[in-house]
Amino acid sequence: MERISVTTAARSLSEILNRVLYQGTVFELERGNKIIARLSPANPLSPIQIKDLNQFFAQLPSLDDDAESFAKDIKTIRQEMAKEQDPWA
């Protein structure tokens, strides 16, 4: 993602639109160091359509054993970490 000023975007709009269309580049447009808009491709970059997601997920490898181990690791990490203090409390 590239960040450019609105003035730069206006001066080179054709080039920017070509990069969005052909390269899939996403631009953040800023005015006064504040992002006011994003310019991105209208079509999704992924070749997978929503209707094909269930079939895609079904083809992924099973995480049966790994999922339990991962959940235990997360639980252990949460127990070992200090509770975050609320500075406003």
The model's confidence at residue 84, banded by pLDDT at 50, 70 and 90, is confident
Is 80 exceeded by the pLDDT of residue 54?
Answer: yes
The full length of the chain comes to 89
Domains and CATH numbers, the chain: 1-42 (3.40.1620.10)
Give residue 45's pLDDT.
64
Give residue 44's pLDDT.
65
Strand, coil or helix: 12 = coil
Is 80 exceeded by the pLDDT of residue 57?
Answer: yes
Q: What is the pLDDT of residues 14-49, one digit of tens each?
A: 999 999 988 889 999 999 999 999 999 987 667 778
Give residue 86's pLDDT.
76
Least Cα distance to 45 among 75, 72, 24, 74 occurs for: 24
Give residue 9's pLDDT.
95
